[in-house]
Every structure is written in structure tokens, then in C-alpha cells.
């Protein structure tokens, strides 16, 4: 069965339907069935959307991307607000190695490129060569997650330990085995070709954090590559990991960046002219680096490897979705697919598929004849959707947040999709400067622009479909359960994206036409995405403002537009002010609210390049300043205004705005 055959997705940022994700009506659940009582409860029309969207009751009961992002953001500040816990030396970190302990291993430990069969990982030591390695930059907020004493960064042996040149006490290094679809085509085995995981650290809250060195040397998954990384790409990954976290977007983190002191040869433009660049290693940190491709590889290999899919799924749920381990089966709830056979999907019998416990709320109505009518209304009581649904929803919510800040990942292959809904693998990423829905920062993606900004929600769904197909192949889901997970992706994306855009405009309710017209105007005039929304908060909700003064607050964003375009913008601003004037929200209150979701500072490519240029001359001051600015993206930060400027002319030269996948 073609899982996507019943689903239609469209998202265009240049039309009034810019936020529409349209799914086949026949796929939407029409009824919930309660077998214990052997009759069907129709969903009341006014409750249907609430039940199948991010309602407050569901979000309070479910583990969502919102709660994960909030949790991650708070962790950098300390959840309990205290600084009383004892900070640890590197030798005191509490290592745990659940991945190595509980999953099948490669019996070999050599780095010869090969197919690694029937295994989730290969044990191996970092092999990168170093010469007087230097610590370039570090994140104290990530050290806080690990409860690592910041003074440890001052250790003379720290660069040796986090380049992999010296072993870290307690670590059990390995490279993960996975596959994936690349640009829509199955690529077979891929794996960690230049990343080596050191292990998992448990902090005093029993939070699990995996530490990984990217650029630490060859592995069996390196194919014909050298397993190394350059300073240029390492700075970009370090800064963007921390910038995205500060924007409130789920992401992998970065503890530190070390320059190896050895050069690495790279042909940046694939033009036959390689050059030597400084080598570097980033220590990445995440709850897990499991990807969609981690499961896909074993499903594609079939036969006995299908059991590995189940083992890996059980491992993931046990350690990263523990709330699904104790699913209550006291109530069996299912929904009708609306198909001719009137078949149902049981949401509580399969932890891989979905779990929603419901309660009945009886409502009494009095009709004109004073006859009392009763019907059952459904609401979410407790527990989250199960694994496939939660993975789909986390993915949807993260991508909605990307769209909100203008982030383009650039290479959304299934091996770059985190099963935890994290933004992972920062390669040729880019934030929008001028608003262009077809923007891609990846030179490899230029011919078809598969991974351009506007396509990201659709690609997210396609990737979720591949993940669901994997679970179906391993008989963890049936087709109807897989379809339901994909439908939840669409609904979650719509709900989150619309909520984000509503907040960005300071509206009290979603206005599809107004937002669609705005995006159309922005695309026509190539308006800077970040600066425009920041300036928009300066608009006053005063319908008496003369037409010739309406665009003054937006003057810095509306550059070089002619009379016809001024009229188009004036018309839009007038309708926007009219909408604001009926909201009952004061200008000051709205401005503060809008500025809390519209960043002033984003990690523009030219800012990265400036930091890279300085670091390549062993001046690390700029990267450290840039990190501090990006840690407070919503604050005004007086004196830092230069970091909010539009890109200079030199920023459009090759190698600054666009990169290749392997950079």
C-alpha cells in the first residue's frame, strides 16, 4: 500500500493558502469506538478539531515538542534555580553505556570501509592526528547539563581529551550504523563516517546526554572519506546548535570546539581545486543521535534484521519515551478510518502506534420543547500518543518552528532526521535574509531545490512516511496506524505553524488571508524576513494614521520599492491596523509579545564567515562574541546592533551564502 496515496499536502508561501496542509477528508477519523460498551460515540463538530489538534488538555497530558524545548531551555538555566549542586571534574562524570550494553554490536573494531551487518554500532577509538590542539570556544550552558565544572575548560589536557587524542576516563567510544534516503533515493548503509560517540552521561536528575566527537577520524562507515572535519564547518555547527537552542527550537547541542593543529584538504566548490584548511572537532551533545535511518537500514535488509528494528524501537521507547512504557490498557479506544469497510484502529493495543485515554463528559441540552438530550463528548484525559505518533508530531512541531524563524536545514535526508524531533546535523544550513520561498543554502540541492525553505513541511511528511513504512515492514505498525501517524503530522504542523505566525503578527486569532498576503508581498519585494517581523511590532493600532505615514515604521525593511508596491504595502498595513484595533491589546503589550517571538539576531551566514575568517588566523574573539549575542536573540542588546544588520555585498560571494553537503 502506498502510504502517501491518500494524503495531499500543499504549502506555498507565495499564495493566500500559504499555511494550508490539506489532507484527504476520508482519512480523518470520524468516530471513536469503545469496545467495552459496544457502541459508537460520534464526535461533536465543535469538539472534533480540539480532539485532533493540540488542545490544552492534550498538551498537558502529552510529552510534546513544546514541553521538550521548554525543558531543554530551562536546563541551561537550572530547573530548580539553584546553583547548590556539586559540579564535577571530567573524571567524575557518571557514564552509562546503554546503547552499547543493550544493542547488537559489530564483532569487528577495525576502520576498513565495509558493510556492517546485523549490528547497530561498531566500537572504535578516535584516530584523528593532532598537533598542539587548541580550545576555540565552549558552551557553559551545555556544561551545566552535564554538571561539568566550567573550570575544567581551563585544563591543559582538555583539548587533547576533546579532540580524541587522549582517552576520556569512563568513555566507551563507538560509531553508529544507519542508512537513509538521500534526495529521495535509498542510499543504503551510511553511518557515522566522521563522528564517534564517547558514551552517555547521566546527571543527578537521571537525564541522559550522549557525547559525540565530530571529525574524530575514520570509521567503517567513512567509505572513501577521511573522517575529518574542518574549522569552517565546525564553527558553523557549534554556533548554530547553540543559536537554535536559544531560539527555543529543539536541537542537538555543542559542548566545545577544538582546533586540531593539523590541516585537512577540502575541495569546497567541487571544481578540482582542493585547498588545505584547519582541522577541528566539535563535541556534540544530545539525549540521543538516533535517526530515522537508524531503523530504516535494518528494515531494508529484512529477514533477521527486522528483529533489530523491534529491539531498537524498544530500546528507544525505554530510554527516551519512558512515558509510553506503562501504557494503561484498562480502556481500549479506537477510531474509525471512515473507509467502506468501517474498519477501526485501536490506539491502546499498540505502543508503537498510538495511545489516547479518553473520558466521557455528559452534557445536558434543553431543546425548545424542554426535552433533555444527551450525547457523549470525548476529551483527552491522560497519556501521550504512542511512539510513531509522537515522533511524527515532534518532527512537525520542530519544522513549524524552523518556518517561523526562517531556518532552512538544507539537507533533510532521512539519516538527518532525529527520532527525538531535534534539529540535527548542521551542514549547509541557512537562515532567510531576503524572503524567498525557494531558497536553498545547499549547492547540491540547486537543480531541483528539493530541500528549499517552502518544501520543508512536505519533506518532513515524506520522511515520516519512510519512518512509518519502516515500522510497518517490521510489523510494528499496520497501514492504518501508519496513516494515522502521518495525519497527526499534518494536523500538528498546521496547528503549530498557524499559532507561530499568529504570534509573530501580534494577532489574537489566526487570519489566513492576512498572513498569506503578507508573505506574498514579502516574496515580491525580497523583504528581509527577520528584520521585517521585528520592525512590525512598531506599528500602532491607530486607524487614523494618514496613508502617507503608514509605512514609516517599516522603512528600514521596505527598501527600493516603487509607487505601485508602496500602494500594495499601504493597503496591507491598513488592513493589519484594522485587525489590531479590534484586539483590545495595547501597543506596548503587543510589542513586548511580538518581540519575544521575533528575534532581532539570527545566525546569518556572513556572521559565521566573519567568525571563521578570524578563527583561521587564530583569533577566537569573534566566535565567542557571536556566541554570546546568539544566546539572547530576542533581547535588544545595546551596542551589538551590527549583528542585526543586513548582509554586506561580500556576503553573496561563493562559499559564504551556499555550501555543499560535505562541507
Q: Kindly list the distances between the CA atom of residue 225 and the CA atoms of 176, 180, 229, 460, in Å, as whole numbers in the listed order.
A: 16, 18, 10, 28
Tally helices (H) and strands (E) across the chain. Answer: 18, 18
Contact by Cβ (8 Å): 343, 480: yes
Reference 94, options 211, 1, 189; nearest CA is 211
Task: Indicate the SS3 state at residue 285.
Answer: strand
Buried b (16+ CB within 10 A) or exposed e, 193-231: bbbbbbbbbbbeeeebbbbbbbbbbbbbbbeeebbbbbb
Q: What is the CA radius of gyration of the chain?
A: 26
- Could you give the residue ranges of the DSSP H alpha helices within 54-131? 56-61, 65-75, 98-102
Q: Residues with catalytic annotation? A: 415
H or E, element range at 324? none
The residues that bridge with 138 in the sheet, in sequence order, are: 256
| Cβ neighbours around 568 below 10 Å, total | 16
**Torsion angle (degrees, nearest 10) of CA 47, 52, 53, 54:** 90
Alpha helices in 195-281 (DSSP H): 231-246
For every residue of 27-61, DSSP letters joined together read GS--EEEETTTTEEEEPPHHHHHHHTTT-HHHHHH
The DSSP code for 267 is -
* Adjacent-strand bridge partners of 430: 408
Cα dist from 555 to 279, 383, 511, 638, whole Å: 44, 49, 24, 21
Amino acid at each position: 500500500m502506498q502510504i502517501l496515496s491518500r494524503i495531499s499536502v500543499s504549502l506555498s508561501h507565495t499564495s493566500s493558502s500559504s499555511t494550508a496542509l490539506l489532507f484527504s477528508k476520508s482519512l480523518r477519523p470520524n468516530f471513536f469506538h469503545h469496545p467495552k460498551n459496544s457502541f459508537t460515540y460520534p464526535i461533536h463538530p465543535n469538539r472534533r478539531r480540539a480532539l485532533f489538534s493540540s488542545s490544552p488538555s492534550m498538551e498537558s497530558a502529552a510529552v510534546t515538542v513544546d514541553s521538550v524545548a521548554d525543558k531543554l531551555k530551562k536546563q541551561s538555566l537550572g530547573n530548580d534555580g539553584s546553583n547548590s549542586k556539586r559540579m564535577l571534574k571530567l573524571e567524575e562524570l557518571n557514564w552509562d553505556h546503554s546503547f552499547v550494553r543493550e544493542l547488537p554490536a559489530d564483532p569487528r573494531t577495525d576502520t576498513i570501509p565495509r558493510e556492517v551487518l546485523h549490528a547497530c554500532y561498531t566500537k572504535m577509538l578516535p584516530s584523528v592526528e593532532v598537533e598542539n590542539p587548541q580550545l576555540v570556544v565552549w558552551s557553559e550552558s551545555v556544561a551545566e547539563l552535564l554538571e561539568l565544572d566550567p573550570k575544567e575548560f581551563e585544563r591543559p589536557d582538555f583539548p587533547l581529551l576533546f579532540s580524541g587524542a587522549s582517552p576520556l576516563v569512563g568513555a566507551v567510544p563507538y560509531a553508529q550504523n544507519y542508512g537513509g534516503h538521500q534526495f529521495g533515493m535509498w542510499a543504503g548503509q551510511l553511518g557515522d563516517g566522521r563522528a564517534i560517540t564517547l558514551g552517555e552521561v547521566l546527571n543527578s536528575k537521571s537525564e541522559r546526554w550522549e557525547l559525540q566527537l565530530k571529525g574524530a577520524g575514520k570509521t567503517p562507515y567513512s567509505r572513501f572519506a577521511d573522517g575529518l572535519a574542518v574549522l569552517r564547518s565546525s564553527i558553523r555547527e557549534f554556533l548554530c546548535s547553540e543559536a537554535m537552542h536559544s531560539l527555543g527550537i529543539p536541537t542537538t547541542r555543542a559542548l566545545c570546539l577544538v582546533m586540531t593543529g593539523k590541516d585537512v584538504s577540502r575541495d569546497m566548490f567541487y571544481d578540482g581545486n582542493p585547498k588545505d584548511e584547519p582541522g577541528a572537532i566539535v563535541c556534540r551533545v544530545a539525549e540521543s543521535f538516533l535517526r530515522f535511518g537508524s531503523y530504516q537500514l535494518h528494515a531494508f535488509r529484512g529477514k533477521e534484521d527486522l528483529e533489530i528494528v523491534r529491539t531498537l524501537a524498544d530500546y528507544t521507547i525505554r530510554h527516551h519515551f519512558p512515558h509510553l512504557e506503562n501504557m494503561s490498557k484498562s480502556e481500549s479506544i479506537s477510531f474509525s478510518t471512515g473507509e467502506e469497510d468501517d474498519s477501526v484502529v485501536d490506539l491502546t493495543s499498540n505502543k508503537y502506534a498510538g495511545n489516547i485515554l479518553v473520558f466521557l463528559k455528559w452534557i445536558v441540552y434543553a431543546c425548545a420543547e424542554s426535552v433533555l438530550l444527551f450525547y457523549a463528548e470525548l476529551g483527552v484525559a491522560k497519556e501521550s500518543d504512542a511512539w510513531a505518533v509522537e515522533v511524527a508530531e515532534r518532527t512537525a512541531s520542530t519544522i513549524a518552528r524552523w518556518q517561523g524563524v526562517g531556518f532552512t536545514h538544507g539537507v533533510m535526508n532521512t539519516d538527518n532526521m532525529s527520532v527525538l524531533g531535534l534539529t540535527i546535523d548542521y551542514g549547509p544550513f541557512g537562515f532567510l535574509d531576503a524572503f524567498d520561498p525557494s531558497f536553498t543554502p545547499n549547492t547540491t540541492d540547486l537543480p531541483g531545490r528539493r530541500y528549499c525553505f517552502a518544501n520543508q513541511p512536505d519533506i518532513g511528511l515524506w520522511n515520516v512516511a519512510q519512518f512509518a513504512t519502516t515500522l510497518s515492514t517490521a510489523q510494528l505498525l499496520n497501514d492504518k496506524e501508519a496513516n494515522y501517524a502521518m495525519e497527526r503530522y499534518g494536523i500538528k504542523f498546521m496547528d503549530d505553524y498557524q499559532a507561530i505566525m499568529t504570534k509573530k503578527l501580534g494577532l489574537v486569532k489566526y487570519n489566513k488571508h492576512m498572513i498569506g498576503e503578507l508573505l506574498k508581498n514579502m516574496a515580491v519585494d525580497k523583504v528581509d524576513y527577520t528584520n521585517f517581523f521585528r520592525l512590525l511590532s512598531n506599528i500602532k493600532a491607530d486607524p487614523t494614521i494618514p496613508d502617507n505615514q503608514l509605512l514609516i515604521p517599516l522603512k528600514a525593511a521596505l527598501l527600493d520599492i516603487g509607487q505601485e508596491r508602496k500602494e500594495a504595502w499601504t493597503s496591507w498595513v491598513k488592513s493589519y491596523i484594522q485587525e489590531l484595533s479590534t484586539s483590545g491589546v495595547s501597543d506596548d503589550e503587543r510589542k513586548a509579545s511580538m518581540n519575544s517571538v521575533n528575534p532581532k539576531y539570527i545566525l546569518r551566514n556572513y556572521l559565521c564567515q566573519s567568525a571563521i575568517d578570524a578563527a583561521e588566523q587564530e583569533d577566537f574573539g569573534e566566535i565567542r562574541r557571536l556566541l554570546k549575542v546568539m544566546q539572547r536573540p530576542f533581547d535588544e542588546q545595546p551596542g551589538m546592533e551590527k549583528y542585526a544588520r543586513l548582509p554586506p555585498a561580500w556576503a553573496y560571494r561563493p562559499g559564504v551564502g551556499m555550501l555543499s553537503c560535505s562541507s
